[in-house]
Structure 1
């Protein structure tokens, strides 16, 4: 039984009385150390195997006198069990550190750090956002080895219940990769997503809407009038849609384009080159887009509108590009909701180029930045078929010029 010597008031009013450290005893090894600067620390002295040791019990007043006495009692219980309180504390801290390193979030962030250098920037952003928004809030703090299939399914079902079935399947795939990484690094025991096959609502993939060939002339005419009545859109968006049609790149690739990527001749008729770095490509590979004279002229007009911005399509804040939805909403304003998207220009171009029977399918696929499976591991030549692709892109631009005049 401890002999309590201090009162709460004494603890509150304790001073060092000019000493560097003044030690006030409360009995059974408990002391209040009062320093000259006014700070106060609880400490306890104890003996084990004949050796004197001490432990800090916290800072007063955050740790009250009652708290300190409770901790003293716990330490005496450990001593009676033959345990060293200091060693037990170190073991508990080590376990806490190990546990924090073994949480799903810790393992996922480590896995992400290993993978991110191999991904396109847009994909890296998507993966990070999917984990942070959909998984960390529910599974992040859980030790990865303690997770169960029902827990994982419950987290994914929250996404599915929002109607985002495609996202649910994508997030499930990411979670599976993290769990497998946890197994490989000795912290996990099972990939629970393997047990959940068939548990999610199947996602029915829908193709991006794209107009048929007979509707292309009217679409091009509508776009050419976008910055005039009755739509009264802006010139930059009109030029962007025309450039999207001329180059049939992915919308994200056009939106993220900078002037540094463009090689534009003084004479537009000489054509130009757009060099898209691999970091912005879905394939992760550098990509060259031959620019026909029509595309160069559109870019020259955009350069005037862009002013000092580094972006080909700056937003209201010139330090950032336009949003991802700008071009899609422009098509909506033109009456093409559900009929056409920015991605749809790729389908239209692919169909027309293939049906022309003028171009080798490999040239078309390379211009679409589709990397054949048998070339993924091989050296990727961004300039492959470039002379042929220049002629093909010139033909495509003339094809669009002819189409817009078709009645």
Structure 2
């Protein structure tokens, strides 16, 4: 007589093993602790054997009967279901060991000794966050160029062109390593040179001077509909006009409040050299407010999910778009976290500040060897301190009235 779900649910354990019989050799073992296991009793080449089919209710009665049908098919083909299950388990373990995530971790462990700790962590975070959700559990041998292209296109849709380029390079290096150690016969990313979309001149949209007052007023209201941490991040990004990644990964140990200086180590800078950011009184006030929120952590802007990691590179962009500066509203330009660097540079140059001091504050390293020899992280420091305080005052004026008279005359 066939079992029913009601019978199985109502079956109570006793002080010894119990068996409930279904059909086609399917049985349910009920242990004294209440656990229920599906078993199939069958004969193969004259020997009595038992096949484990899973645990109830994870494997339902219907699913257990389907497994019986599959086992019967194997027996009809003169194949032992138990042997086939062992083969499948082994293959599953092999697939895990040869998954893209496993090979990527092996490659990263192989390489990280040649990198600084911060760089190694950046590489791993970038690779994990951008590739594992899509291909992490896939056997690396099953990857095709279109899989890689899909990942790159997803990143490009976030307007993170630099990240797209680096992730493509990371995937290429992981696959090259897999070829070298015999886990892959061909690198699916090797022929993808040129696949990245061309940068548009406005991909890092910057706000024009006349739209700053409206943006700053909207930012003041953001805490009513968003996270105060995100508001402070955008506020500090505008006040310091550093690159978004330099701010997201900022650590409290880098800040000298007494001297009003932020020293960013070279291993976190695009050009690989130390960078000093003079802090205006407004920036210091924002940092004091922030310290009451995250001062107990190493990072100024830790992730909500994992405090040892920085906030996502997309957090500020999403907040700016949420405020209405995504380019879809008439009369409003599209704003981008990186674009505040261009906005600050344009206004400071128009105001008459020393262009060399502005470039140094933007951490633009001279490529020319002669001039680079004179470019130092502390160069033009007095001018830069004055400039950063003027910039913060300027933003306050813009937020208040939108009418600001530059304090410096245009230089010829």
Corresponding position of 1:8 = 2
Q: 1:298 is paired with a residue of what secondary structure?
A: helix
Aligned 8 A contact 2:141 2:184 in 1: yes
Q: 1:8 is paired with a residue of what secondary structure?
A: coil
Question: TM-score with structure 1 length normalisation?
Answer: 0.57
Q: Cα gap change, 1:125/1:42 in structure 2, threshold over 3 Å: closer, same or farther?
A: closer
Instruction: Give yes or no for the alignment of 1:390 onto 2:381.
Output: yes
Offset of 1:95 from its aligned partner?
0.6
Counterparts of 1:371 and 1:324 in 2: how far apart (Å)? 29
Corresponding position of 1:324 = 316
Aligned 8 A contact 1:165 1:203 in 2: no
Counterparts of 2:52 and 2:291 in 1: how far apart (Å)? 64
Unaligned runs of 5+ in 1: 1-6, 266-270, 375-383
Length, aligned pairs only: 356
Corresponding position of 1:289 = 276
User: Which among 141, 145, 152 is matched to residue 145 of structure 1?
Assistant: 141
Corresponding position of 2:282 = 298
Counterparts of 2:237 and 2:218 in 1: how far apart (Å)? 20
Aligned 8 A contact 2:2 2:23 in 1: no
Counterparts of 2:243 and 2:121 in 1: how far apart (Å)? 14
Larger radius of gyration: 1
Instruction: Give yes or no for the alignment of 1:274 onto 2:262.
Output: yes
Q: Please, what is the CA RMSD of the aligned residues?
A: 6.2
Q: Cα gap change, 1:366/1:178 in structure 2, threshold over 3 Å: closer, same or farther?
A: farther
Corresponding position of 2:400 = none
Q: Cα gap change, 1:142/1:369 in structure 2, threshold over 3 Å: closer, same or farther?
A: same
Aligned 8 A contact 1:43 1:55 in 2: yes
Offset of 1:93 from its aligned partner?
0.7
Offset of 1:20 from its aligned partner?
2.5
Corresponding position of 2:243 = 250
Unaligned runs of 5+ in 2: 222-227, 370-374, 394-404
Q: Cα gap change, 1:185/1:282 in structure 2, threshold over 3 Å: closer, same or farther?
A: farther
Aligned 8 A contact 2:252 2:300 in 1: no
Instruction: Give yes or no for the alignment of 1:406 onto 2:397.
Output: no
Counterparts of 1:127 and 1:30 in 2: how far apart (Å)? 46
Counterparts of 2:203 and 2:150 in 1: how far apart (Å)? 29
Q: 2:191 is paired with a residue of what secondary structure?
A: helix
Offset of 1:32 from its aligned partner?
5.7
Aligned 8 A contact 2:44 2:75 in 1: no
Q: 1:90 is paired with a residue of what secondary structure?
A: helix
Offset of 1:406 from its aligned partner?
2.9
Instruction: Give yes or no for the alignment of 1:44 onto 2:41.
Output: yes
Offset of 1:344 from its aligned partner?
1.6
Deviates more, 1:385-394 or 1:173-182: 385-394
Q: 2:262 is paired with a residue of what secondary structure?
A: strand
Deviations 1:212-249 (A, max 9, x none): xxx9xxx5x997x8899xx6874999999997688553
